[in-house]
Amino acid sequence: MAMLLQMYKLFIWVTLLGINVSDARGKQYISAVGDPGMRRDELRLAFEAWNFCNEVGEEAPGMGSPRAADCFDVSSFSLRHRVNETDNKLGVGNPFPGLGPEAENNADLFAAQKQLYLGSLCQVADTPNPWQFWMIMLKNGNFDTKSGLCPENGKKVPPFSSGRFPCFGKGCMNQPILYHELTHFLGGDTMRGSFNGTYDLGSDIRSELDGISFFEVVWEKKVGDGSWVFSHKLKTSKKYPWLMLYLRADATKGFSGGYHYDTRGMLKSLPESPNFKVRVTLDVKQGGGPKSQFYLIDIGSCWKNNGNPCDGDVLTDVTRYSEMIINPDTQAWCSPNSVGNCPPYHITPNNKKIYRNDTVHFPYGAYHYYCAPGNAQHLEQPVSTCDPYSNPQAQELVQLLPHPIWDEYGYPTKQGDGWVGDARTWVLDVGGLSSRLYFYQDPGTPPARRIWTSIDMGTEIFVSDKEEIAEWTLTDFDVLYTSPDL
């Protein structure tokens, strides 16, 4: 009887979602991504580069707008590419189908529309929604406060002087040089392609990497076998000490984490807390030094302080992020003596609230850093507010560290888990954990639906004082719906 009821619930649930249940290995699950486990031969991949506030600012000479894609179909051991290098090199002043006149000469708007255009070339029809690509995201953390390029909590502010941010001088927020090796057959049945490049304009990465920044993602797969393996490399330099490189599953429409414009991506339906898990295989080969905040998983979304979904109004939209940092060199900034770096409370798996002033029970070591949105009106003191410039709008961050209290969710429980020499396939109950994290809301407002528009993995090398290199491979990425009733 109970079995029958469960089958019935599954049936209703599947019908509601309008998706088919996968039945591999006899286990029933529904994937939220277009390419479950990265197993599809016909790859869909895009690249984007961001400046400090997730915009373009100015294109790098000869590179076009920093958006590119590698998408192809496979037939009898030949690849038919859907995006050519003319498309990939499109930049301000070059029209393309669908480009609005206001975007033609504005590098920020142009990039947003180029992403939609590349999405239209890569799009795969599917239920319940079409999807476009995995996204490689690269970000330069330099901020020239005299450039006037970044708003403060979404509000436009005039240029100002500050020594708080890395910048070697005018032009420090530049976009990178990008080289693209189109996916091709290596000989035999292995396909491979790559994106690489540097922020150091005028340097030649083909000779010597000493003294210059470098990024690279190489993808490889055998036809009809296994999953795409993405090998990442990120190197900082004196001029570019703060760099980020992630592989993202973003929403196929609407605002992905950190965006204030329509995006394209891989999440053909959007996971909502608590009912989803993330499966991924990660092998960190080189950590990237003590400042490398490697995110085993980073989830991003957007909702307003009153709980409403975001609508593109940067003054009231708030980007919400939570990430688990697995570099064992990362210390907890949250402590009994610095409760301003902790969320106001922790919620246990059996829904008990533990306030941060409860020094006996609060798991201080489980939180690296909490910071509240800069536009929140009713914050509990003491509190840190997040950097107001590094997103197009206000943001909130809940940064976690490996700790025994996360065991219930399949997350790392001790320093070193998942780090260099501990390659693993993780099945993380991201939905369950994120349903119990503290996020700020105005008092008396109905709780926001925690619908995640971005799920990413990669590292943020946060202002390194010497040249650092991080290197890792990622594969098998999947986002699985779970149901508490099953």
List residues binding ligand NAG (CB under 6 A): 84, 86-87, 179, 181, 194, 196, 205-206, 216, 355, 357
Radius of gyration (Cα) for the chain, nearest Å? 22
CB nearer to ligand NAG: give 205 or 324.
205
CB nearer to ligand NAG: give 87 or 429.
87
- CA dist., res. 280 & res. 263, Å (int): 23
Residue 460 Cβ vs ligand NAG, minimum distance, rounded to whole Å:
22
Residue 361 Cβ vs ligand NAG, minimum distance, rounded to whole Å:
11
CB nearer to ligand NAG: give 18 or 336.
336
Residue 371 Cβ vs ligand NAG, minimum distance, rounded to whole Å:
18
CB nearer to ligand NAG: give 194 or 281.
194
What lies within 8 Å, CB to CB, of 126 at 6+ separation is 34, 268
- CA dist., res. 55 & res. 151, Å (int): 11
Beta bridge partners of 231: 218, 473
CB nearer to ligand NAG: give 197 or 412.
197
Residue 253 Cβ vs ligand NAG, minimum distance, rounded to whole Å:
21
Residue 216 Cβ vs ligand NAG, minimum distance, rounded to whole Å:
6
Instruction: With CA atoms as reference, report the closest residue to 294 among 317, 327, 263.
Output: 327
Beta bridge partners of 251: 267
CB nearer to ligand NAG: give 86 or 306.
86
Where does residue 183 rank: exposed (0-12), middle (13-18), buried (19+ CB within 10 A)? Answer: buried
- CA dist., res. 116 & res. 17, Å (int): 25
- CA dist., res. 178 & res. 198, Å (int): 7
Residue 338 Cβ vs ligand NAG, minimum distance, rounded to whole Å:
16
Per-residue DSSP letters for 91-127?
-TT---TT--GGGTT-HHHHHHHHHHHHHHHH-B--S
CB nearer to ligand NAG: give 86 or 127.
86
Helix and strand counts by DSSP (H, E) for the chain: 4, 20
CB nearer to ligand NAG: give 181 or 225.
181
| The token pair that represents 168 in the structure block | 């070697």
Residue 117 Cβ vs ligand NAG, minimum distance, rounded to whole Å:
9
Query: 473: which DSSP letter?
Result: E
Secondary structure class of 339 (helix, strand, coil): helix
Beta bridge partners of 28: none
Residue 433 Cβ vs ligand NAG, minimum distance, rounded to whole Å:
22
Give the side-chain half-sphere CA count within 13 A for 217.
28
CB nearer to ligand NAG: give 170 or 353.
353
CB nearer to ligand NAG: give 85 or 313.
85
Query: How far, in Å, are 80, 195, 230, 426 from residue 118 at the CA level?
Result: 16, 16, 21, 31
Q: How far apart are the first and last CA of the chain?
A: 14
Residue 344 Cβ vs ligand NAG, minimum distance, rounded to whole Å:
6
Sign of CA dihedral 115, 121, 126, 129: positive
The number of beta carbons lying within 10 Å of the beta carbon of residue 448 is 20
Residue 181 Cβ vs ligand NAG, minimum distance, rounded to whole Å:
4
Residue 106 Cβ vs ligand NAG, minimum distance, rounded to whole Å:
22
Region of 380 please: left (phi>0), alpha (psi -120 to 50) or beta: beta
- CA dist., res. 87 & res. 94, Å (int): 10
CB nearer to ligand NAG: give 112 or 205.
205
